[in-house]
Amino acid sequence: MIKHVLAAAAALALLAPAAANAELTQGAAAPDFTTMGALAGKPLEVHLKALLAKGPVVLYFYPKAFTQGCTLEAHAFAEASGDFATAGATVIGMSNDDLPTLQKFSTAECRDKFTVAAASKDVIKAYDVSLSVAGVSTGLTKRTSYVIAQDGRIVMVHSDMDYRDHVKLTLEAVQKLKTAG
């Protein structure tokens, strides 16, 4: 039953017009959060403000660990992790998966290259990334990527259920920040 709901949610999200999305806009202040996450299978606290003290943050929301698109997206971010590090950016993936699932996903699919964290209902609401079907929340997040500059402002937003451009577009944005900085 849950697989059918997830498949329907993903199919409907692909059909939704881009104008219907209401993610945070470029220039908006990124809402701060503290949550639990995992890197290389080890649990850790993730605090946006602390990460921003080190440089820009790529915060990408994905619907569900170990699903096809989310796995391919995690692989793509893992493969580009060196490029993000060179640009001075930290990559954080977020979903509403539980910590044990995130611990496994951080190793198996993120290849120990970046942190994944638990997106609470409050974080999902604050970033306006709730995936809904026919106006009803699925409890999942839309596939949305934010690039957050060190000053806490959003400099790029990309929301598309197709994972393929998320890495390319976020990497271009952090490289522009490094060049401008």
- Distances in whole angstroms, Cα of residue 124 to Cα of each of 33, 62, 96, 165: 11, 11, 8, 21
Please enumerate in sequence order all residues whose Cβ is within 8 A of that of 26, keeping only pairs 6 or more positions apart, or say none: 154, 155, 156, 157
pLDDT per residue as tens digits for the range 62-100: 999 999 999 999 999 999 999 999 999 999 999 999 999
Q: In this structure, are residues 138 and 2 in contact, taking their beta carbons and an 8 Å threshold?
A: no
Cα separation, 171 vs 52, in Å, equals 16
Is the Cβ–Cβ distance between 97 and 118 less than 8 Å? yes
* Confidence grade of residue 22 (pLDDT, cut at 50, 70, 90): low
Phi, psi of 113 (to 5 degrees): -95, -25
Superfamily of domain 2-180: Glutaredoxin (3.40.30.10)
